[in-house]
Chain A
Amino acid sequence: MAVQTVANTADATGSTTPAPDLGPAAALSCRECGERFPLGPIFACVSCFGPLEVAYELPAGGPEELRRRIEAGPKNIWRYAPLLPVPADVAGKPSLNPGFTQLVQADNLARELGVTGGLYIKDDSGNPTHSFKDRVVAIAVEAARAFGFTTLSCSSTGNLAGAVGAAAARAGFRSCVFIPHDLEQGKVVMAAVYGGELVGIEGTYDDVNRFCSELIGDPLGEGWGFVNVNLRPYYGEGSKTLAYEICEQLGWRLPDQIVIPIASGSQLTKIDKGLQELIKLGLVEDRPYKIFGAQAEGCSPVSAAYKAGHDVVRPVKPDTIAKSLAIGNPADGPYVLDIARRTGGAVEDVTDGQIVDAIKLLARTEGIFAETAGGVTVGVTRKLIENGVLDPALTTVVLNTGDGLKTLDAVAPTSGPTATIRPSLEAFRAAGLATD
């Protein structure tokens, strides 16, 4: 993973500015053709449009030393600073300090699903704004600082908007975020309450995304850091911390199988990148692992491509209660297909009804209230076991990436008081609730 060191970045006028301090990040590299570029707020390869990714000068010293350094670090994503595009003193900067969320050993759910090899829920609803997006945003904020942006922005299905609003408030940026106009109220309120600008766009997420991409190329967007557009290469690295944490929490061991929700496919792609890095660094033993992608049937372009044996993803117009996963044109879809096939995993989808059932199953068995995206991963896990695709005898990690309080509407119609009674012992007895 050695790269040539890029000392300076040339700007449009040909003058040079010092390279931004992004720690071990050394350059950007095209995931498609390998072409390299100096670190900067760019996201697509000039030759082939492929996505740019951060390439590193990885830490000197062996795995033992690195493991000690990580374990001595703070109980948040900054413990992995030596593997992320952030300055060495990042832990001292104003940040929401996300990460190191619980890896819950889900024995009750395992019994219910017939998993015998160990089942874990990586519960990212425990992050500061209650979704995994705090991880990606925290890294993008450091890039925004390094490149001198003053406004933080994003196109969002809701969770990212909340994460950007909160992180901007803490770090002292102006924020202005864009969402489809018809999101769940929980997400709209969370995106608005931190006091930044919030713009509802009349259209789907894909329309929002297109609008933001055009804003980036226009003088109107000058000085704006869009965490998932021009800061995307840095943003994406935040998802690697999920891979690092899962392995560390398993005692520096790879799980056999991971089930990951897919919207754009970025999270899944970067979790795979994180696992590969741990293997290369010698932090975990090199063993096979399988990655499974999960979608909602009402927005399942990647699952459809997987089942049809295609290596390109044909976009769809989404219609599902899983709005956080409602991206009809997933940019990293082709990589999800590659990874599922390379690792021996699969991509599957579940109906809205199965999503609701799965949310309630997880809540009933483990006391974890997932948002619809978590219902998608749990539902897909159940379906993959029933179809004999996911091996119940192997160690399995299922991601819950967001909090059920954000999507109350999904379960509200079927969740309420078991009984409503007068405040009297008589009424209580009559309701049949006493234990005998």
Chain B
Amino acid sequence: MSVTVRIPTILRTYTDGRSEVPAEGTTLAEVIADLEKNHAGIAARVLDDAGKLRRFVNVYVNDDDVRFEQGLETATPDGAGVSIIPAVAGG
């Protein structure tokens, strides 16, 4: 499955400044593994030492926060948009 990943500013050093990059995978975990292949180092920024999503990062597959879905096992259908976004405060 081919998806488009939206990269936050603080991770763009890994993508040569690009704000969107393509990736492959049927689940979010596979997409992150594929990102790591092409942009070495990026997985360790998004995942903690235990391999889980860091607690201050929000990931959306299309419009759904993956914590409402299956976390790293959330399916990433062909053509999906994946967004990685730092948590923000306020209101």
- Give the CA-CA distance A47 to B86 in the complex, in Å: 12
Partner among A159, A217, A312 whose Cβ is within 8 Å of the Cβ of B9:
A217
A-side contacts of B58, CB under 8 Å: 210, 329
Least CB distance from A234 to B in Å reads 12
Name which of A2-10, A56-64, A149-157, A250-258 contacts chain B.
Answer: A149-157
Measured CB to CB, the nearest residue on chain A to B9 is A217
Measured CB to CB, the nearest residue on chain B to A209 is B88
* B65/A315 in contact, CB under 8 A: yes
Name which of A72-80, A224-232, A376-384, A412-420 contacts chain B.
Answer: A224-232
Name which of B23-31, B32-40, B49-57 contacts chain A.
Answer: B49-57
Measured CB to CB, the nearest residue on chain A to B57 is A49
Binary contact readout B61-91 vs A (1 if CB under 8 angstroms, 0 otherwise): 0010101100000000000000101111111
B-side contacts of A156, CB under 8 Å: 90-91
A48 in contact (CB, < 8 A): yes
Binary contact readout B35-47 vs A (1 if CB under 8 angstroms, 0 otherwise): 0000000000110
Binary contact readout A181-216 vs B (1 if CB under 8 angstroms, 0 otherwise): 000000000000000000000000111011011101
A-side contacts of B87, CB under 8 Å: 44, 49, 51, 329, 331
Interface of A (DSSP majority class): loop
* A217/B90 in contact, CB under 8 A: no
Partner among B7, B8, B55, B88 whose Cβ is within 8 Å of the Cβ of A312:
B55
A49-B57, A331-B56 given; A228·B86 CB < 8 A: no
Given A213-B86, A232-B88, A329-B58, 17 more A-B residue pairs with CB atoms under 8 Å apart are A42-B10, A43-B88, A44-B87, A45-B10, A47-B45, A48-B45, A50-B56, A210-B60, A210-B85, A217-B8, A217-B19, A263-B91, A264-B88, A264-B91, A266-B89, A329-B87, A331-B89
- Give the CA-CA distance A155 to B13 in the complex, in Å: 27
Least CB distance from B12 to A in Å reads 8
17 contacts between A and B (CB under 8 A): A46-B45, A47-B45, A48-B54, A49-B54, A51-B87, A157-B91, A209-B90, A210-B58, A216-B9, A217-B19, A232-B90, A265-B89, A312-B55, A325-B91, A327-B91, A331-B88, A332-B89
The 4 closest A-B pairs by CB, nearest first: A228-B90, A44-B86, A331-B87, A266-B89
A298 in contact (CB, < 8 A): no
Least CB distance from A233 to B in Å reads 10
Measured CB to CB, the nearest residue on chain B to A207 is B63
A-side contacts of B19, CB under 8 Å: 217-218
A300 in contact (CB, < 8 A): no
Least CB distance from B61 to A in Å reads 13
Binary contact readout A365-380 vs B (1 if CB under 8 angstroms, 0 otherwise): 0000000000000000
A312-B55, A314-B67, A315-B68 given; A51·B89 CB < 8 A: yes
A-side contacts of B91, CB under 8 Å: 155-157, 159-160, 205, 228, 263-264, 324-325, 327
- Give the CA-CA distance A47 to B13 in the complex, in Å: 12
A-side contacts of B63, CB under 8 Å: 207
B-side contacts of A325, CB under 8 Å: 91
- Give the CA-CA distance A228 to B87 in the complex, in Å: 11
Least CB distance from B6 to A in Å reads 7
Partner among A44, A207, A229, A334 whose Cβ is within 8 Å of the Cβ of B90:
A229
- Give the CA-CA distance A213 to B6 in the complex, in Å: 11
Give chain A interface residues in 299-355, CB to chain B under 8 Å.
312, 314-315, 324-325, 327, 329-332, 334
